[in-house]
């Protein structure tokens, strides 16, 4: 049911994004209603991945929770890649270059590289128990890096160090903020649906692995 | 809205539609696999 609501929500959000008046000092404004929600959803999915892994570690050691954690992290990673790609297109039209070593760009790149390394580390461990224990640490470490890279890093720099507009989410006019948060909710729901489907495949793969080990 | 914007909106809607139907397809596949794994887990007499 959520997938139908999420898809309809995103569709409405898409149209809202296109009929909105152009934001001040920004060209190709509709990208903002896709790029920003994906970046926020990425962070949300990384937080949820850490929550599932903590649930695995402290509340029952259910392998399905670990599978969900991995799925949320993977879908968050893909959302981050798309956010970065659309951000580069956005940057090209607004700042004249795809990449300008902006603190926000560097922060998100650092976050994505960190997660890529964490996935590789998880994949390099053979024992399932050890893999899940280590993943709990990785997921928590990853979300700390993600929070720092995509939010804190830019806040601790001088106000004009970043080309990204400051406080867009809080200081824009009410209509712009509504359209932005409407889209954030839609994309977050859609990505959560995708992560749940990915988790189901991981759970099936775990059961098949167990069967191979049992020799049945 | 300009015709360029309309074109981009149409492409975006089609892309979203594609993503949605792919999600439905993959979910159906997951359900089928889950049922198969569950059936095979039942001990045979």
Summarize pLDDT for A173-183 with one digit per residue, the tens: 888 888 889 99
Measure B15 CA to nearest chain A CA, in Å.
11
Reading the block at residue A116, the tokens are 């890529």
Domain hosting residue B45, numbered range:
1-45
Q: Is residue A27 part of a domain?
A: no
Other C-beta atoms closer than 10 Å to the C-beta of A172 total 17
Q: Is residue A1 part of a domain?
A: no
Q: Is residue A23 part of a domain?
A: no
To probe the interface with B, which of A4, A194, A199 has the most B CB atoms within 10 Å? Answer: A194
pLDDT tens track for A27-56:
667 788 889 999 999 999 999 999 999 999
Distance from C-alpha of A175 to C-alpha of A181, rounded to nearest angstrom: 10
> Whole-model pTM?
0.89
Q: Is residue A22 part of a domain?
A: no
Domain count along chain B: 1
Q: Is residue A110 part of a domain?
A: yes
Q: Is residue A64 part of a domain?
A: yes
Q: Is residue A153 part of a domain?
A: yes
Closest chain A residue to B26 measured between Cα atoms? A197
Cβ–Cβ of A10/B26 closer than 8 Å? no
**Would you say the ipTM is above 0.95?**
no
Buried b (16+ CB within 10 A) or exposed e, A58-97: eeeeebbbbbbbbbbbbbbbbbbbbbbebbeebbeebeee
- Eight-class DSSP state of A102: -
pLDDT tens track for A91-145:
888 888 899 898 889 999 999 999 999 999 999 988 888 999 999 999 999 999 9
Domain count along chain A: 1
Domain hosting residue A84, numbered range:
32-214
The answer to whether B11 faces chain A, any CB pair under 8 Å, is: no
């Amino acid at each position: 049911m959520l997938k139908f609501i999420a898809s309809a929500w995103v569709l409405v959000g898409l149209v809202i994004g296109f009929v909105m008046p152009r934001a001040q000092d920004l060209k190709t404004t509709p990208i903002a209603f896709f790029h920003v929600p994906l970046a926020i959803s990425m962070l949300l999915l990384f937080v949820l991945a850490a929550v599932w892994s903590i649930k695995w570690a402290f509340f029952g050691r259910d392998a399905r929770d670990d599978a969900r954690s991995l799925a949320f992290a993977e879908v968050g990673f893909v959302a981050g890649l798309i956010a970065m790609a659309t951000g580069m297109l956005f940057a090209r039209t607004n700042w004249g270059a795809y990449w300008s070593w902006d603190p926000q760009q560097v922060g998100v790149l650092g976050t994505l590289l960190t997660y890529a390394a964490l996935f590789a580390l998880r994949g390099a461990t053979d024992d399932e128990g050890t893999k899940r224990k280590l993943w709990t640490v990785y997921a928590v470490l990853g979300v700390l890096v993600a929070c720092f890279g995509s939010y804190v890093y830019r806040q601790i720099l001088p106000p004009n160090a970043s080309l990204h507009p400051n406080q867009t989410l809080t200081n824009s006019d009410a209509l712009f903020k509504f359209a932005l948060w409407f889209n954030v909710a839609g994309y977050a729901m859609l990505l959560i649906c995708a992560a749940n489907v990915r988790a189901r495949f991981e759970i099936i793969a775990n059961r098949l692995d167990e069967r191979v080990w049992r020799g049945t | 809205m300009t015709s360029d914007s309309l074109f981009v909106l149409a492409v975006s809607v089609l892309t979203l539609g594609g993503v949605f139907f792919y999600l439905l397809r993959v979910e159906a596949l997951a359900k089928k696999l889950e049922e198969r794994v569950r059936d095979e887990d039942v001990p045979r007499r």
